[in-house]
Amino acid sequence: MTMPTTERGSAGLRDHLAAELARTRARSAALTDAIDDGELVCQHSRIMSPLIWDFAHIGNQEELWLVRDVGGRDAVRADIDQLYDAFKHPRPNRPALPLLDPTQTRRYLSEVRCKVLDVLDSAPLEGRRLVEHGFVFGMIVQHEQQHDETMLATHQLRTGPAALQAPTPQPQRSRNLPGEVLVPAGEFTMGTSTEPWALDNEWPAHRAYTGAYWLDTVPVTNGEYQQFLADGGYDDPRWWSERGWAHRCETGLVGPQFWYLDGRSWWRNRFGVIEPVAPDEPVVHVCFFEAQAYAAWAGKRLPTEVEWEKAARFDPATGRSRRFPWGDEDPTPAHANLGQRHLQPAPAGSYPAGASPLGVHQLIGDVWEWTSSGFSGYPGFAPFPYREYSEAFFGGDYRMLRGGSFGTDAAACRGTFRNWDHPVRRQIFTGFRCARDADPGDLT
């Protein structure tokens, strides 16, 4: 759960933090226990770390921030710090490092966690910005959950039989939804200055303006994307940016990652299960360039990050920005497909209880949504508690992703949460929805 920690007393906050740490570690353990040690230590793709690196890195970050910094305790394993520094070792090089083996990793994480719980019992949770409202503990929970989603993506890349299981989503669905929703022109409050566990790139709250625009009510579906494929969209440079077309030709893209054509039917490999592509699910595993090309083919464009957040948070009745599309309360299974409860997106139109005041659906969960914006700080941005979380990536070759996916935990997903990646990335759980500018006649 992600209930605002400002509503809790000290004892309740400590209990909440302990529960979040335990819940998150259970997910990490399930992802690593699902396969044998040989698969944990091998590299399933050069763009991903071995799973065992992610697992030990989780423990190392917990030790650095909670044991050493907050707790002021002696190091558990200072000798491994440089092995698990993501900035020192690119992913392709990590298998060659003298990493902890699975048994050593599990022992290390257990020892770190014992010390962390001692720190949590005794450390003050006030008087220092890092610990106010349990921020640093929440930061570590979010860090681990982010790596859990990364490990889930690595599971998708591995070969062999399925190792993970989850039920198929069967939520309520809205029928006969309009194809688009009109978002009015005007200002709204973007970002936050009050969310206790918000990360530095979400701060501070500020006023942002958009013109009027139309936004797809739901993400683009597999069935809609197949129309683009059937119309020769991957063979027509008219729809692609110059960079996008060069990438499509260089890499030989013919459809979303993990799809293949068998006769006239599209199939997919979903976590080791070979199945027909479900036409009513949001498309997933497409890169920014593919999303951009589809939007151009459809006579539309990708929304900006500002447009995405306005549609997700702005309540025209009150003029305020909500924490989530549905309101300020934490996500429940009725609101969104989050937390790896399922291993696929839910059909388009699912979770009507999670719709925004403007009537836009599935903005949270299911698939990360590409936007057209690059990554930069908001006006007044200040790095906290370290510049490598956000500032080191500003101005690079990134595009913003918003909303979370079925593999994103609620602790690391809210209306202000910002994600970013290179425009060529497809292994992450990414989809998109389209936008277009409103004509003057639309506003009357």
Reported as a single tens digit per residue, the pLDDT across 310-363 is: 999 999 999 999 999 999 999 999 999 999 999 999 999 999 999 999 999 999
Position 441 pLDDT exceeds 90: no
The mean per-residue pLDDT over the stretch 232-246 comes to 98
Distance of CA 441 to the CA centre of its chain: 37
- Is residue 9 very low, low, confident or very high in pLDDT (cuts 50, 70, 90)? low
- Residue 436 to residue 298: CA distance in whole angstroms: 10
Q: Which pLDDT does position 341 carry in this prediction?
A: 98
Helices (H), 34-163: 37-41, 51-62, 102-122, 135-157
272 secondary structure, DSSP code: T
At residue 26, the 3 state secondary structure works out as helix
Residue 70 near residue 136, CB atoms below 8 Å? yes
pLDDT digits (tens, 9 = 90+) for 262-292: 998 999 999 999 999 999 999 999 999 999 9
> CB under 8 Å, gap of 24 or more: what pairs does 251-254 form?
251/424, 253/290
- Residue 127 to residue 4: CA distance in whole angstroms: 19
The mean per-residue pLDDT over the stretch 176-197 comes to 97
Position 37 pLDDT exceeds 80: yes
Tell me the average pLDDT of the chain.
Answer: 96
Q: Which pLDDT does position 38 carry in this prediction?
A: 96
Position 443 pLDDT exceeds 80: no
The mean per-residue pLDDT over the stretch 241-249 comes to 98
Position 2 pLDDT exceeds 80: no
The mean per-residue pLDDT over the stretch 148-162 comes to 96
pTM: 0.96
Q: Which pLDDT does position 440 carry in this prediction?
A: 84
At residue 297, the 3 state secondary structure works out as helix
- Residue 282 to residue 223: CA distance in whole angstroms: 9
Q: Which pLDDT does position 203 carry in this prediction?
A: 98
Max Cα-Cα span within the chain: 67
Percent of the chain past pLDDT 70, that is, above it, reads 98
CA angle 236, 254, 397 (to 5 degrees): 80
Residue 185 near residue 211, CB atoms below 8 Å? yes
Q: Which pLDDT does position 201 carry in this prediction?
A: 98
Rg (CA), the chain: 22
Show the domains of the chain with their CATH numbers: 5-157 (1.20.120), 175-444 (3.90.1580.10)
Q: Which pLDDT does position 8 carry in this prediction?
A: 54
- Residue 370 to residue 421: CA distance in whole angstroms: 9
Q: Which pLDDT does position 4 carry in this prediction?
A: 42
pLDDT digits (tens, 9 = 90+) for 19-28: 999 999 999 9
Percent of the chain past pLDDT 90, that is, above it, reads 95
The mean per-residue pLDDT over the stretch 398-410 comes to 98
- Ramachandran category for residue 433: left, alpha or beta (phi over 0 → left; psi -120 to 50 → alpha): beta
Position 411 pLDDT exceeds 90: yes
CB atoms within 10 A of CB 388: 11
- Residue 201 to residue 357: CA distance in whole angstroms: 25
Q: Which pLDDT does position 369 carry in this prediction?
A: 98
